[in-house]
């Protein structure tokens, strides 16, 4: 039986049902909600594998089916978070798992062997209130998925051992640095329209890269930092480029103005010299004609 409560060290055996149900063993299988840390949006993204070095319900059941996950070091994508070790949930679409109503189970109106070699979760799958539902990373609707189906996704993640793996920090830093360098280079070397096209193409490539890495491979690369780098580079370096271009335009204007003045002086000088030369030459020519 699952409970949301946690046993602290030194409180073993605290989680018990009242008599005569005290012989039923309780396992702690809490779900997490990002209310205070991380995204702070009430979304359930993670599941607890161990708490204070003790396994929770989901990895325990999964180890009975997939012995690989019995060794916590073999669990894919596990990371430490305060006193726990957690993994991200590999969610499937809502209503993926088959359901059998309580009435069907009581009267036996289902295919024989349907529960053979299956993990069966018993609970309320038609929540009467918002508290019976959770928000997922793929839908923040108040009734995105029932709590029972979330536990099914948790078990599926542990059994298949396919939790998403978060990319190391150096991968995010490298992508952010390369994106920043490319953005600055494009802003200073290409014309505005072409630079904007290249930046949009870069953003589309990052989205495609993140999508391909996450869905088929289960490798999660955070794209918030590269996109933030693109925005900051564009925000700060575009005005700088405009200042440089305005300065160049002013320098070109002053240079052209100076060249125009020089050309005008040259023209005036030639005109004056030709006039001054024509006068004595005309007199000399007149004297020779006499």
Residue 178: pLDDT above 90?
yes
Beta strand ranges found along the chain (DSSP E) = 2-3, 27-28, 46-51, 54-55, 79-81, 84-88, 133-134, 145-146, 165-166, 219-220
Judge if 88 and 33 occupy the same domain: yes
Judge if 182 and 159 occupy the same domain: no
Residue where a domain stops, chosen among 139, 163, 187: 163
Answer for the pair 24, 1: CB distance below 8 angstroms, yes or no.
yes
d(CA 16, CA 87): 27
Higher pLDDT, 128 or 54: 54
Residue 159: pLDDT above 70?
yes
The predicted pLDDT at position 260 comes to 81
**For 131-143, how does the pLDDT look when each residue is reduced to its tens digit (9 = 90+)?**
778 888 887 777 7
Residue 162: pLDDT above 50?
yes
Confidence of residue 68 (pLDDT cuts 50, 70, 90): very high
- Kindly report the CA angle at 270 between 265 and 274, in degrees rounded to 5? 150
Judge if 151 and 15 occupy the same domain: yes
Most confident of 188-192, 203-207, 212-216, 246-250: 203-207
Confidence of residue 55 (pLDDT cuts 50, 70, 90): confident
Question: Average pLDDT over the chain, rounded to whole?
Answer: 78
**For 184-209, how does the pLDDT look when each residue is reduced to its tens digit (9 = 90+)?**
888 888 887 888 899 899 999 999 98
Burial level of 89, CB count in 10 A (0-12/13-18/19+)? buried
Please state the domain count of the chain.
2
pTM of the predicted model as reported, rounded to 2 decimal places:
0.68
- Structural domain including 241 reads 167-290
Judge if 30 and 42 occupy the same domain: yes
The predicted pLDDT at position 220 comes to 85
The predicted pLDDT at position 190 comes to 84
d(CA 27, CA 48): 13
Judge if 145 and 173 occupy the same domain: no
Residue where a domain stops, chosen among 163, 190, 205: 163
Judge if 142 and 172 occupy the same domain: no
Answer for the pair 220, 172: CB distance below 8 angstroms, yes or no.
no
Which token pair is 43? 């979304």
**For 77-128, how does the pLDDT look when each residue is reduced to its tens digit (9 = 90+)?**
898 888 888 899 998 888 888 888 878 877 777 777 777 888 888 877 776 6
The predicted pLDDT at position 276 comes to 60
Most confident of 34-43, 60-69, 121-130, 250-259: 60-69
The predicted pLDDT at position 201 comes to 93
Residue where a domain stops, chosen among 113, 140, 163: 163
């Amino acid at each position: 039986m699952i409970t949301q409560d946690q046993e602290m060290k030194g409180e073993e055996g605290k989680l018990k049902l009242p008599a005569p149900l005290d012989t039923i063993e309780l396992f702690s299988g809490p779900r997490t909600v990002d209310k205070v840390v991380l995204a702070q949006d009430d979304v359930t993204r993670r599941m607890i594998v161990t708490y204070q070095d003790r396994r929770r319900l989901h990895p325990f059941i999964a180890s009975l089916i997939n012995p690989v996950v019995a060794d916590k070091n073999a669990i894919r994508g596990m990371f430490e978070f305060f006193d726990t070790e957690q993994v991200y949930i590999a969610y499937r679409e809502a209503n993926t798992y088959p359901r059998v109503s309580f009435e069907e189970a009581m009267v036996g109106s289902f295919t024989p062997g349907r529960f053979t070699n299956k993990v069966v979760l018993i609970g309320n799958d038609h929540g009467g209130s918002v508290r019976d539902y959770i928000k997922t990373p793929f839908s923040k609707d108040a009734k995105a998925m029932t709590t029972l189906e979330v536990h099914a996704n948790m078990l599926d993640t542990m059994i298949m051992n396919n939790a998403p793996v978060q990319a190391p920090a150096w991968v995010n830093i490298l992508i952010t640095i390369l994106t920043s360098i490319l953005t600055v280079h494009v802003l200073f070397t290409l014309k505005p329209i072409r630079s904007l096209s290249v930046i949009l193409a870069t953003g589309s490539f990052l989205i495609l890269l993140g999508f391909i890495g996450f869905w088929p491979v289960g490798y999660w690369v955070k794209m918030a930092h590269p996109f933030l780098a693109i925005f900051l580079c564009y925000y700060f370096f575009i005005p700088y480029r405009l200042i440089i271009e305005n300065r160049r335009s002013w320098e070109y204007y002053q240079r052209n103005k100076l060249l125009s003045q020089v050309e005008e002086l040259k023209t005036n000088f030639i005109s004056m010299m030709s006039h001054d030369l024509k006068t004595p030459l005309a007199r000399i020519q007149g004297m020779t004609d006499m």
